[in-house]
Each structure stands twice: as C-alpha cells, then as structure tokens.
Structure 1
C-alpha cells in the first residue's frame, strides 16, 4: 500500500464511527484518505433507543461534528457496492472508488418474524420510529391503555421496564417464547424478575406471537392479547447489500471473514460489528456493542499495519458482561465467561445503574479521545480460549 490509499467506511454506527476515527489517528502521517458514508447525518446511540421510545429526550449528535479535526470526509446517502470494480455508488449518482472497504452496516429488527408486524408494530430501528412510538404512549397515557413488547431479549427487557417506569398509568406486557433473563445466572435473573414485578410488567412467557393486529397480538395458542401499541424487538436482520453484491455471506447475510476479519471472497473488504460472521475457537460472536467496538478497533489497527507493510495477528476477543438497564433507577450487570455464559458474580441496584450508564456513554467518549490517542475498547481477549484457531 502506498500514499493516497483510499479507505471507505460504509456505515456510521458505533463500529463504523469508531473504525474511521481510530484509523484516521493511526494513519495521519501516511497519506491515507478516509471517507465515511452513511444514509443519515445523525449519529444514533442504539444503546439508548429504549429511552427515546419511553419519551426521554436525548442529545442530537451529528456525524460531521463528531468527525471534526479527524480529517475524515463524510458523505451522506444510500449506497450500492460493486466489489469487482472496488466502487461505492451513493444515491445512484456519486461514485467512490476504494482501495480498502470497511463494511460496517449494522443490523435492524426483523419484523418479518410475524405477519403484519411491519404494519402494526413499532420498532427501535430509527430515532424517528421511536419518537412516533413515544408520541403514541403520550396519547394512551391520557386514557390508559395496554402496551405489548414482543421479544424477551435484553432489548425487550430494557424497553418494557423503561416504558413501565416512565408511564405508570399504562399496562405493559412483555411477550417472550423464552424466560426473560434466561441467559443470566440465578441471582441476576431473580433481581431482573423482581424489577419487572415492582414495575407492574405482565409476563407472557413461553408465548410465540403469530400475528400483530391493529389493536392486539395473536399468540400461537390462539389467545388474543389486547395491545393499543406494540413494540417489536424480536429477531434481527442485516442489510442484503453484501449478498446482493456477490460478497460471500452466510445464510443470514453476514459477511464470511477470515481470522483477520477480511472477507474470504474479497480480501480488500474488512467486515466489522453486526455485519461480520466472526467465529473464534469458543464460538461465534453475536451482534452487540460489546463485541462490535473491539472488531472496529482491531480493523483500524489492522489496516494501519497493512499500510505500513507490517504483519497482522488474528482477532481475539472474549465477552465479560451483560449490562441491562431496568428503568432509570435500577439495573443488573451479569458478569460472564468468554463465551457469554454467566459467572456467579453480578451487580445490581444503584451501583449497576452507574455501571450501565458508563457503558452506554463510553462510545462517544472513546470517539473524542481517539482523535488524538489510541484508546482500547477490548477489555478481554478471551484468554486461552482464543489462542487456538477456530474449528
């Protein structure tokens, strides 16, 4: 690689933003040019989307402002990828040729899991949709009503507790095929369920939604649960852009990568975060900010080393916690092993609230510091579990 090398980062979520800013700092004396492309100029704090849905007003961060002083060029628009030509087309007009592409298009909620979920349910996919849901809650608050949250994963739990706390006059029902918090240890799970009880959240566990109606949700056992507003948090999907472009992907559309997070079909493409099918010796990463930011840091460092003609070591990572907010005044932090299974230790109550807020606010702080220094986002490299190659 030589001076004038052009890196295009596709997607300005947590991982794309992190990778672009860190790479700019790491390559500031090499002549590398970096362009960050995103459909919107607003930086979305996905870790806080449930707060917007509950009606809380958050700061409006703009991508150009976050890039100030980095030298990274920002281009706004939707894109198409032509990997054989190494070209990105923005809004069908602007053409950007790249030497290296960082593919950082994240995931979104999959409303295709149940008929009419895309029509009658809200999601946390964008701040605009979350704002509309929040406005609907205000309407319901005037007369009372029932809110259903479909999906008992961490996002669903955070949304249900946030809504119940912010709108105590509404009846909130959390519908899940599995036990909420089932991935946690007994102590953390018990605290989570006490919080749900305290906030008056009704649980429909072991229930699968088969259809979303205008004023209810239909369950697989035939029951109808009244719903004046439905929030869908069950399941995720990724953009079909990579698969449509002929980049090798798995059956979910995630880009297949090697041990250095480079596409197995197009090595000039580095995939990070939710877009990459990253498999380590202990198992495959699942989409989360906890694993996404380390892939972004690693990829920025990898490209910086390749620019200088240096060798690259395989990516290593291990999980270390499951942080879950339970409204603004409670939280639970389950500490984990490398493979995300729970340890015996957990944190609850006020100390967990402080911990969770530190986690949620850390990406923006990392971006600011990364303009002028190398800031690590990898807390655990997985120890011995990641020292051997993946099967």
Structure 2
C-alpha cells in the first residue's frame, strides 16, 4: 500500500469559525489529508461585519495566517455531497474524493418572502458580499437620510449602534422585543444607550412591507405605519445553505443537518456537522461564534475517533453569556447560566466594550491560530445541556 493510499481524506466544507478550527484540529494525526473548501480566498470575521459596513474596522483575514501547514484551500462552493461515491461536487465542476466530510457551511441571511418588498429593497449584513453592497449604498446617502434596521437581536443592535455613532438617523424595529435573549436589566441598559444616542427603538412593532423609500409597520398608528426609510437593513433571523437537503440528507425545518449528539449525520456516519448548520439531536445550539469553535473542535474529534476506531464523545457545551458592542466605546457582557439562560448580571460601559473586543480577538488568535500551531489544544466550558438522540433519528452506519 502506498503512502497516499494510507491517508484519510477529509473534506471540510466551509471556512468560517467552525470549519477553519476543525481543519486545523484534524492535523493532530499526520495520516489525515485535509482539504478546506470555501467560496472566498479570505477568512471572514462575521462578528465584525457591522464594523466593516460603518468603516470602523476590517472583517477579512488572510487564510495563510490561520491555516496549519499542509491544509489545502480550495476556493469553490459545494453543490452536492455524493454519499454513494464519496465525492463532493463543486460549483466549478470539480469533484473531491473523501473518506469523511465535515459539514460547516454556516448560516446566511433570511429575508422573508412573506414580507412584500423585503427581498427586493432590504439589505442584509450576514455575509461579506452583502455587507459590501450595504457599505456602498450607505456611502451614497447623506448623513441625515433615514435608515431603518429590522431586527432587535445582537446583529441589529450592533448595526444600529455603529451607524448612529457615525451620525446616521437610525430607527431600530425590534419585532417583539429588544435583545430578547438578555436579562431585563441588560435590555434596559441597551435601550437607554440607543435612545440617548438618537436611535428610535420600536418594540412590539413588525414590518409588513418594505418599499424603496419607506417601511410599513403593522403597529396600528394613525399614518398607517408608513415611515420614511432611504435604506432598510434586514437583520432578523438567519437561514442555512441548502447543500445538505440537495444531497439527500435529512435536515430540520430550517435546513440544518440532522445529527446525533456526536455531530454525526443521522444518515451517514462519514458526514459530521459543525457550527450553525448542525442540528444535534434536533436541538441546535444558538447560532453564534461562541458555539462555532467548540462544535468545530468536537466535529474534528469525532472524525479522528472514527479513524482511530474509538467511540466519539458527545457534544457538551456550557454557555457563559454573550457580548454586544454599542459603538466603539461601549459594550455589554451579559452573563448566563450554563444552559444559556441569562441572569440579572451584566458588565457594561467601557469595560464591556473591552471584553467584547478581547472576545473577538480571542476567537481568532487564541482559538484558530493556536489550534493551527498545536492541534488538539482547544478546550471549552462544559457541563451545559447534554443531548439525547431521539429514537426516530437512528443513524445509518456505513461500512469502512
């Protein structure tokens, strides 16, 4: 048997936080051949895209500074995983043979087709390309042009805060509530900061239509809910790429790959998921950079266990809270129980901003780059929610 035939070929689809860390961790064995497939030649820091849009920070990093030695980067997109032939088919027409796939395609924007005009006239900020379009559009507008941000989650809050600090006239439409995953004291702190800096925060208001120059709210107001909006930014919710479904693999309602608690596909034990596109035991974790790293590490460990012929461990991740930036000088670190339930304790102000910035740098410098230098080094808080695989989600095990 030649040395080449002895290599275990692993294709990692998706070069975000989960996929890049998983690719680096796979190098713990020197008989693993790792190919990382990503549609862009650079790594995108999604947690900084709001800064990119406001021109207060960059959001891309050269993969050469992140990937460990020997990992091949293929700039392309997966269109189908051929499980019978064990090949990943790419948009370019190429195919990549595999022994294992780590499915880390991440998440995308979710502009609803049920809201008239949303797909045509609203901008999103979920990916680099859409962020570039949004930044270009912002530069065309005068500072006093009304801007509407749809979505009261962390992305919407950070986008609204960044733009108001640039002198923009911003309205934040929250839907049901502002920062719904935060504690009541944390939500009040965010609301006060936004209001004090000129953001009009509209809670319990939903968008029923997006127009080129306005949004229509179903809030029962006398003017029919029509509010001027020279630019509308949609940040409410995320979607998932359709690669798993297109490959005949079972997914949840949103399109995330259904897996057991070791992150292995319920349909094929040679496909392991990580990050936002994974639905372990049908109970996906919160879509976040916080969860992406541990999920990427666990996915790599599952593949390495299968290569070694040992039983993979289940995912066990304890949450500690979340961070949100409020412009460049303020932030908030919300603390939480291990099950991701917020407690009535947070750190705000300048210290909160420092914690958020350190957290962003930690994800890249201490997690991904350290894993490139020392595969297997990453650890994470444990003791959170454990998963139990439903009986209906029995996994199909293929032969070696």
TM norm structure 2: 0.90
The residue that corresponds to 2:395 in the other structure is none
**Is contact 1:11–1:106 with CA below 8 Å preserved after alignment?**
yes
Q: Could you say which residue in structure 2 is the equivalent of 1:232?
A: 234
- Using the alignment, how far apart are the partners of 2:285 and 2:56 within structure 1? 31
1:181 aligns to what SS in structure 2? coil
How far off is 1:258 after superposition?
0.7
Q: What is the CA deviation profile of residues 32-78 of structure 1, one whole-angstrom value per residue up to 9, with x for unaligned ones?
A: 101000111121100001111112241641224432x4211111112
Counterpart secondary structure, 1:125? coil
Which residue does the alignment assign to 1:137? 138
Q: Name the SS for the 2:208 alignment partner.
A: strand
Q: CA RMSD, aligned part only?
A: 1.9
Q: Distance in 1 between matches of 2:174 and 2:85?
A: 45
Shift of 1:350: 1.3
- Do the aligned partners of 1:55 and 1:131 also contact (CA within 8 Å) in 2? no
CA contact (8 A) 1:242 1:253 kept: yes
Quote how far apart the aligned CAs of 1:6 are. 0.3
C-alpha change, 1:71 and 1:9, in structure 2 (3 Å) is same
Distance in 2 between the 1:38 and 1:374 partners?
Answer: 21
Alignment correspondent of 2:193: 195
Pick which of 302-311 and 74-83 moved more: 302-311
Structure 1 residues 189, 57: closer, same or farther in 2, change over 3 A? closer
Q: 1:163-174 residue pairs with structure 2 within 5 A?
A: 163-166=163-166, 168=167, 170-174=168-172
Distance 1:60 1:44, change over 3 A: closer
Whether the 8 Å contact between 1:7 and 1:101 is mirrored in structure 2 is yes
In structure 1, distance between residues paired with 2:369 and 2:22: 13
Q: 1:310-389 residue pairs with structure 2 within 5 A?
A: 310-365=310-365, 366-374=367-375, 377-383=378-384, 385-386=385-386, 389=388
Q: Which residue of 2 aligns with 1:285?
A: 285
The runs of 5 or more residues in structure 2 that have no matched partner are 391-400
2:297 is matched with 297
Q: Indicate the residue corresponding to 2:129 in structure 1.
A: 128
2:210 is aligned, of 209, 212, 215, to: 212
Cα contact 1:331–1:349 (8 A) shared by 2: yes
* In 2: Cα distance, 1:124 partner to 1:362 partner: 22
Aligned to 1:175: 173
Query: Does structure 1 retain, via aligned residues, the 8 Å contact 2:170–2:200?
Result: yes
Cα distance in 1 for partners of 2:133, 2:92 equals 30
Displacement of 1:130: 1.7
| Count of matched residue pairs | 379
TM-score, L = length of structure 1: 0.92
Match of 2:19 in 1: 16
Alignment of 1:118 onto 2:119: yes
SS in 1 for 2:36: strand
Aligned CA distance change for structure 1 residues 347 and 378 (closer, same or farther; 3 Å): farther
In 2, Cα distance between the equivalents of 1:125 and 1:181? 18
Contact 1:80–1:89 (Cα < 8 Å) also in 2 = yes
